Structure 1
Amino acid sequence: MLGFSVYLNQSLSAERIAQIRRMAAAGFSGVFTSMHIPEDDPRQYLQRVSALGQACHDLGLALTADVSAAGMQRMGVAIDDTATLSQLGLTALRVDDGVEMTMIADLSHRLPIALNASTISSADVAELTAAGADFDHLEAWHNYYPRPETGLDANWLRLKNRWLKEQGFTTMAFVAGDTDLRGPLHAGLPTLEADRHANPLAATLRLQRELLVDKVYVGDSVLSPAACEQFDQFFNHATVQLSVHTQRPELTKRTWHNRPDVARDVVRLVEGRRLIKQVPPTAPQARPIGAITVDNDDYGRYVGELQLVKTPLPADAKVNVIGQVAASDLALLPLIGSNQAVTMKGKGEY
């Protein structure tokens, strides 16, 4: 499951609604918001939550709110008043550490409940079990970390998630956005420090494939149109879309596929040798990560072999360099697996 964040420091604008629609169309199915309101007018905030809830309902999006018992009390809504919460459009709650486990166990029979993944202990699990909690409705959500250098370590996250899944929790983590980063620090809102400036799709796939994360949400409110399109292409069309610099427009006019046997150093696009029959040699060039190459006539039966370079390679007189994957998308190259469809989107000349 994919989600993104909507913060209610101001009323939903037509532009924000349009952004929510774009994210929904790109394959996102959940929204995260916060109902911690230390300075805002509680009544105004409830109106904003209700408006967001209606927008999510109209688009078929689940809405999870970060809540505390004290914050809900300020708004005049009890944290266990699920009827009122449903009227606001909330479909799940992320509760802080101040809510009793017996209350969480009771709530888990009425709607999904997310706990702070970093602080869940064996004692908490035992108390939830004794109270008859429905673990099918319990999730463990990691925090995002606005301050640079404070995000989590990947090895720690993997080990923690392994334990959480053994206890029966669904796991969740955040990735940073790539534009209009949330203030006041404007440094991204990732769970992992390594993801603070990462390509959002690459960060998402690593969390899912390597770090035992079930749900991934964008911590910042907005993805750029280019990043949104990458999510759409991958999750709706099973295609990795790469921005490239090249003077060869034929590269951008079709869908390519990685071979079923995945090479260590390069992505080998199977259509190359079938479609490209003659390639005069050009001056040899070094092949940095992201270089787009084609084997020339001097490579004999390999002529037309089309590759995307995953690790730096030296110049080879039998290989022509014909383009370069954009720096923003280099992290996607190691994630291109067996038979993976790949498209290239032109981003200016090479």
Structure 2
Amino acid sequence: MLGVSVFLGEDLSEETKDYLVTMKNIGFKGIFSSLHIPEDDSTQYLKRLITLGEWSKKLGMELMVDISGSALTKIGLSFDDPAEITATGITGLRIDYGISNRVIADLSKVMKISLNASTITDKDVAELRAAEADFQQLEAWHNYYPRPETGLAKVDFIAKNSWLKQLGFRVMAFVPGNAELRGPLFESLPTLEKQRHMHPLAATLELLRDCLVEDVYIGDPKIDDKTQRQFEAYFNKDHLLLFAAPEKDSAYTQAVLGHHQNRWDPARDVLRSADARFKKISTVLPEDPKPRPKGSITLDNQLYGRYMGEIQVVVRQLSADEKVNVVAQIIPEDTSLLDWCTAGQQFEIQLSEN
């Protein structure tokens, strides 16, 4: 499942509501928020929570809220009355610290509960089983890490998730946003440190494909319009949408735009458009040969004989070749997406509006 984050430090705006509608239409099904209140006006938090709960119910989205016992008390709610909690629109609680496993077990019989994936121990699992917790309602959620250099290492992350999966937990983690970042540091909110400034979709695919994660939430408040389109293309249409800039002095940029499929026998160095050489194409004249860094989009010219017209996207640095015209470049922020264009993957190249 995919999710977004909405924070309650400020009044909720129509812009936030519209963003949630857009993300729901793209395929996002969850909302994460937090009720950890250091010094904010708790009455405002309850008001905003109720508004967010109403929005999530109308949209049919789950609402998971990060909570501690004291924060819940500050807004007038109690673990002793879970029906009152769910009445706000909350569908689940993320329990971080200061709450006993007995209380967690009782709550799991009423609503979804996420535990801190990084701090769960065998002792916790044993106590939850003894308290007859509903493990179908328990999930393991990792933290996001606002401060640079404090995010998790991928190797340790995968090892932890493997253990959690053996116990039957569903695992969730965060990826960074790229439009509106959360303060006060504005350094993005990933779970993995290596993903701190990564493209949100590339980070999501890494978690889903490599890291034994089922649910991915965007930690920051927003992703940009271009990235929204890329999420929609991948999860609704099963193709990677890549944006490119035309190469100066090339007459063939238009020839490489549109839909492609990476061959089922994928090359090491390039994505090969499966049908490009079978399209009717006029003679491709040689252009000045140029180095081919990752993200270069190329078109084989007439010097390559029967390969003339082959379209490729370079995935590792290649040298210049007089038989190959460099006609466009994937924009830098999208090059990490190329790592996830595997055998048979559909992809689309569009010109960037910038």
TM interval, short-chain normalised: over 0.9
Determine the structure 2 residue equivalent to 1:338: 343
Q: Residue by residue, what CA displacement relative to the aligned partner does 1:69-103 show, whole Å, maximum 9, x if unpaired? A: 11111222112422111210011110122111111
Counterpart amino acid of residue 202 in structure 2: A
Match of 1:261 among 248, 261, 265: 265
| Alpha-carbon distance between aligned partners in 1 of 2:333 and 2:209, rounded to the nearest angstrom | 20
Cα distance, 1:42 vs. partner? 2.2
Q: In structure 1, the residue corresponding to 2:288 is in which secondary structure?
A: coil
**Residue 322 of structure 2, aligned match among 317, 320, 329:** 317
CA distance in 1, matches of 2:109, 2:255: 56
- Preserved CA contact (<8 Å) 2:116 2:142: yes
Provide the aligned length of Structure 1 versus Structure 2: 348
The residue correspondences of 1:1-350 to structure 2 (distance < 5 A) are 1-246=1-246, 248-252=253-257, 254-275=258-279, 276=281, 278-347=283-352
3-state DSSP of counterpart to 1:255: strand
> Could you tell me which amino acid in structure 2 is paired with residue 204 of structure 1?
T
- Contact kept in structure 1, 2:50 and 2:89, CA below 8 Å: yes
- Superposed CA RMSD: 1.3
CA offsets, 1:164-189, max 9 Å, x none?
A: 11111111110110022110000000
Kept in 1: contact 2:256–2:299 (CA 8 A): no
CA contact (8 A) 1:182 1:220 kept: yes
Counterpart amino acid of residue 293 in structure 2:
P
Identical-pair percentage: 47
Contact 1:53 1:90 in 2 (8 A): yes
Q: In the alignment, residue 328 of structure 2 is paired with which amino acid?
A: G
Equivalent pair of 1:36/1:71 in contact (CA under 8 Å): yes
Q: Give me the whole-angstrom Cα distance separating, in 2, the residues matched to 1:239 and 1:61.
A: 25
User: Letter of the aligned partner of 1:199 in structure 2?
Assistant: H
CA distance in 2, matches of 1:234, 1:79: 40
The whole-number CA distance in structure 1 between the counterparts of 2:339 and 2:10 is 40
Amino acid at match of 1:34: S
**1:250 offset after TM fit, Å?**
4.1
Whole-angstrom CA distance in 2 between matches of 1:287 and 1:115 = 47
8 A Cα contact 1:53 1:89, kept in partner: yes
Task: Spell out, residue by residue over 1:174-217, the C-alpha distance to the aligned partner (whole angstroms, 9 max, x if none).
Answer: 01100221100000000011111000000000011001111110
Deviations 1:214-245 (A, max 9, x none): 11100100111111111111111111011101
Task: Determine helix, strand or coil for the equivalent of 1:79.
Answer: coil
Unpaired runs of 5+ residues, structure 2, are 248-252
- SS at 1:194 equivalent: helix
Q: How far apart, CA to CA, are the structure 2 residues paired with 1:277 and 1:265?
A: 26
Q: 1:11 to 1:180 in 2, by over 3 A?
A: same
d(CA) in 2 for partners of 1:79, 1:71: 11
Would the aligned equivalents of 1:246 and 1:348 in 2 still touch at CA under 8 Å? no
Deviation at 1:163, TM superposition (A): 0.5
Q: Is the 8 A contact 2:79 2:103 kept in 1?
A: no
Name 2:250's counterpart in structure 1.
none
SS at match of 2:106: helix
TM-score (normalised: structure 1): 0.96
- Aligned-partner SS, 2:179: coil
Q: Which amino acid aligns with 2:243?
A: S
The 1:208–1:285 alpha-carbon spacing in structure 2 relative to 1, beyond 3 Å, is same
**How far did residue 138 of structure 1 move?**
0.8
Displacement of 1:277: 5.1
CA distance in 1, matches of 2:256, 2:8: 43
Letter in 2 for 1:264: R
Give the Cα separation in 2 of the matches to 1:263 and 1:110.
51
- Work out whether residues 277 and 307 of structure 2, in 8 Å CA contact, stay in contact via their aligned partners in 1: yes
Q: 1:300 to 1:171 in 2, by over 3 A?
A: same
Aligned equivalents of 1:340, 1:85: Cα separation in 2: 44
Whether the 8 Å CA contact 2:276–2:311 is kept in 1: the answer is yes
